[in-house]
Amino acid sequence: MAAGAALLLVCSARPVAAQGDCDVPPELTLTRPDPEGVPTEVTVGAYLVDLYAIDDADQTFSADFFFVMAWGDERLMDVDGRSLAGCEVPLASVWAPRVVVLNERQVNKSFAETIHIGPGGLLEYQQRFQGEFTNRMNLRDFPMDRQTLTFRVVLGGARAEEIALVEDERTGGADEFSIADWTVSGSSASYERFKLLTVDQYFPQVTYRTEVRRNRAYYAQKVFLPLILIVCMSWAVFWIDPKLVPPQIGISTSAVLTLIAFLFSLAYTLPRLSYLTRADRFVMGATVLVFFAFGEALLSTGLAGRGREETALRIDRVSRLVFPTIFAAIMLYALVL
């Protein structure tokens, strides 16, 4: 975070010439600096300053991106006998690709929409995008999943063949982030073409990808461990004399009620999806086992009450092996396979 903030301060501290000497002729805003058939080389880069949150159910993430774009326009070095080097001019006063963030939802821009003209006609645009971005996620491996967060930028105002994209050396990310339940493992950039549906035309697009891995310790402590204990508690009836009806029914009923209360609390933790995740498979398997243990308790006490105590004891002994084996298979299926 500190490295990202320092980068922004360094990049924003630029000398500005007197505005009276920075008027750009209107005709220079209409054409590219390069002749027809020669693509304009545009350097683009994005730096992930901070990652605040990832919303699984809403398919969004909140982040702070520093974006930079630079290209050359030597025409600005001799405008009516004067050089515009050192000027800070409005974005609309020069030819510039229009920056469109495709997956923004609620995003604020921190910097003014201006262009800095440097020595030799090097133009640079800097912006900081802070807010919420949409991002499609596959949560079938939740909570053992990895996700790819994308920051998708399309450069409008020129066709894809008119711009040659080059990665800026400032592309990357900070060493530490505000988010606590995910670990950032890497980032990369790719250059593609974006097709506008309304017209048969392609625009240059750059996609910055950030790889993140969910921290599993929270779910191990808050979801899996309590469920394992509830399931194991329901097995206590297998070691109680089936003639003792109150302890058998009391323990089974307590396990069922505890499970129901726990499932209500889980509703605020697990994502609401139309498909099953690893956590869903584990929860469903644990729930079925607890209710089967309750059914086994009813069966064994019923048999003992009708004088078939030996059969009830035999069922209890078999259940001591069958239920843990089934639970181990459920854990293997849900968390490993």
Question: What is the secondary structure of 230-250 as a DSSP string?
Answer: HHHHHGGGGGS-TT-HHHHHH
State whether 50 and 171 are in the same domain. Answer: yes
Q: Are 193 and 202 in contact (CB under 8 A)?
A: yes
Q: Are 67 and 78 in contact (CB under 8 A)?
A: no
State whether 307 and 183 are in the same domain. Answer: no
State whether 15 and 164 are in the same domain. Answer: yes
| Other CB atoms within 10 Å distance of the CB of residue 83 | 16
Determine the Cα–Cα distance for residues 84 and 87; give it in Å rounded to an integer: 6
Determine the Cα–Cα distance for residues 148 and 132; give it in Å rounded to an integer: 15
Instruction: Provide the CATH number for the domain around residue 64.
Output: 2.70.170.10
Determine the Cα–Cα distance for residues 87 and 78; give it in Å rounded to an integer: 13
Instruction: Provide the CATH number for the domain around residue 276.
Output: 1.20.58.390
State whether 267 and 119 are in the same domain. Answer: no
Question: In Å, how far are 183, 233, 235, 251, 292 from 242, measured between CA atoms?
Answer: 50, 17, 13, 12, 16
State whether 95 and 205 are in the same domain. Answer: yes
Q: Is the pLDDT of residue 214 over 90?
A: yes
The angle subtended at Cα 204 by Cα 198 and Cα 170, nearest 5°, is 145
Identify the band that residue 4 occupies on the pLDDT scale cut at 50, 70 and 90.
low
State whether 172 and 251 are in the same domain. Answer: no
State whether 155 and 300 are in the same domain. Answer: no
- Which of 184, 214, 244 is the C-terminal boundary of a domain? 214
In whole numbers, what is the pLDDT of the chain averaged over residues? 88
- Which of 178, 195, 214 is the C-terminal boundary of a domain? 214
Amino acid at site 10: V
State whether 64 and 141 are in the same domain. Answer: yes
- Which of 165, 189, 214 is the C-terminal boundary of a domain? 214
Identify the band that residue 14 occupies on the pLDDT scale cut at 50, 70 and 90.
low
pLDDT tens per residue across span 75-91: 999 888 888 999 999 99
φ, ψ at 257 (rounded to 5°): -65, -40
Strands 114-117 and 40-55: unpaired
**What confidence score (pLDDT) does residue 149 get?**
96
pLDDT tens per residue across span 124-180: 999 999 999 999 999 999 999 999 999 999 998 888 999 999 999 989 999 999 999
Would you state the structure tokens that stand for residue 140, as one six-digit string? Answer: 């079938």
**What confidence score (pLDDT) does residue 253 get?**
87
Residue 224, classed as helix, strand or coil, is: helix
pLDDT tens per residue across span 17-46: 445 578 888 888 888 999 888 999 999 999
Range of the domain at 60: 2-214
Determine the Cα–Cα distance for residues 34 and 12; give it in Å rounded to an integer: 27
State whether 69 and 158 are in the same domain. Answer: yes
- pTM reported for the whole predicted model: 0.83
State whether 210 and 227 are in the same domain. Answer: no
Is the peptide bond prior to 15 cis by the omega test (within 30 degrees of 0)? no
State whether 235 and 210 are in the same domain. Answer: no
Question: In Å, how far are 9, 120, 184 from 14, measured between CA atoms?
Answer: 10, 16, 31
Q: Domain count of the chain? A: 2
State whether 173 and 250 are in the same domain. Answer: no
